[in-house]
Structure 1
Amino acid sequence: MKKEDCFYIGKIVKKYSFKGEVLAKLDTDQPELYENLDAIFLELRNNLVPFFIERSQLHKSELLRIKFEDVDTESDADAIMKSGLYLPLDLLPKLEGDKFYFHEVIGFTITDKNFGDVGIIKAINDSTAQSLFEIDRNGIEILIPMNDEFIVKVDRDNKTIIVETPEGLIDLYLEE
């Protein structure tokens, strides 16, 4: 399984018991979706390795307590500590309307109601307090905050996101 065919759901953050159980911090608004998985991919030395889950349950809101098959001791748990957790993209719940996953809108066109076509989304920057659309407009990078008030419509059929940004925001990037 290749990483680009999967999505990241969290990472193992600490050991839970001396029997190999671990706690994983999930990167999701809906941790309950991942409570009853049969298997998951762990990133070990830059490879995704499938692990089967004996049992798992939510532990203190966003932590998932997991007992993997064949991880039975503290040293087994140490070997997978800090590993990223991944699932195949086809297991992502489908989103409707104006909700979207970051990976699914890469390559979409951004159109502003007042400005017109802005450019193509080349990435999402979520390293700042406010996630940003990184848009390529003929070699010029334009950043638009992913603010619910700015997003008018997500048109999956036409691979377009229609936004209405504050006047002058896009022009800031185009003035020389």
Structure 2
Amino acid sequence: MEKWFNVGKIVNTQGIKGEVRVVSKTDFPEKRYKAGNVLYLFMPNSKTPVELTVKSHRTHKNFELLTFEGYNNINEVEKFKEGILKVPESQLDELEEDEFYYHEIIGCLVATTKGEEIGKVTEILSPGANDVWVVKGKGGKENLIPYIHDVVKKVDVKEKVIIIDPMEGLLS
């Protein structure tokens, strides 16, 4: 059975020419939303996904704005609201060394080079220069770990373990 990965959620329409607003959940928006790419729309009350081919993509504020081939006005895309855009596992690309998909990192156990367990990665933030991993420890305490070579020493996605060497003051 094919595994599916979320790339975004259609939250609204934009204008009258069939453009939709997407809250992106993908690690690589420039690849996923490229014209000609195929995305699959899963609607809450439907078992069969709708295959959509990206016609255009632009970013506006915190949204990705997409149009799809064959859908040229607001009336045709209105029904897509609340739908989840996904790609099958077979569409995932091979990554460079030290690059990871979000789904590979979320859930990993984080420990220090000294063996102290910090917690599990629950979320990934992309504020700018580098990603920041939100690590929730025992008691619900959260630590923000920057994904930089000075801090993250080893990532083993098969074993779901990340080893870090925290800088002074990084861990609360």
Under a length normalisation based on structure 1, what TM-score does the superposition of the two structures give?
0.65
Pair 153,22 (structure 1): closer, same or farther in 2 beyond 3 Å: same
How far apart are the structure 1 equivalents of 2:89 and 2:45?
18
Amino acid across the alignment from 2:89 = L
Q: Which consecutive residues of structure 1, in runs of 5 or more, have no partner in the other structure?
A: none
Query: Counterparts in 2 of 1:89-128, with a 5 A limit?
Result: 89-113=89-113, 115-118=114-117, 121=120, 123-124=122-123, 126=125
Look up the match of 2:19.
Answer: 22
Q: Deviation at 1:169?
A: 5.6
How far apart are the structure 1 equivalents of 2:91 and 2:21?
19
Judge conservation of contact 2:22–2:66 (CA < 8 Å) in 1. Answer: yes
Under a length normalisation based on structure 2, what TM-score does the superposition of the two structures give?
0.66
Judge conservation of contact 1:43–1:84 (CA < 8 Å) in 2. Answer: yes
Deviations 1:21-75 (A, max 9, x none): 333436246433232223x32232255642233551223574322135xx56643
Look up the match of 1:8.
Answer: 6
Q: Deviation at 1:122?
A: 6.1
Judge conservation of contact 1:125–1:132 (CA < 8 Å) in 2. Answer: yes
Deviations 1:146-174 (A, max 9, x none): 3024212213454421111134765x5xx
Q: Deviation at 1:99?
A: 2.7
Q: Does 1:32 align with 2:30?
A: yes
How far apart are the structure 1 equivalents of 2:111 and 2:74?
53
Judge conservation of contact 2:121–2:133 (CA < 8 Å) in 1. Answer: no
Alignment RMSD (CA, Å):
3.7
How far apart are the structure 2 equivalents of 1:59 and 1:167?
40
Q: Which consecutive residues of structure 2, in runs of 5 or more, have no partner in the other structure?
A: none
Pair 25,73 (structure 1): closer, same or farther in 2 beyond 3 Å: closer
Identity rate of aligned residues, in percent?
23
Determine helix, strand or coil for the equivalent of 1:116.
coil
How far apart are the structure 2 equivalents of 1:148 and 1:54?
33
Specify which of 134, 137, 140 is matched with residue 136 of structure 2: 134
Judge conservation of contact 1:41–1:87 (CA < 8 Å) in 2. Answer: yes
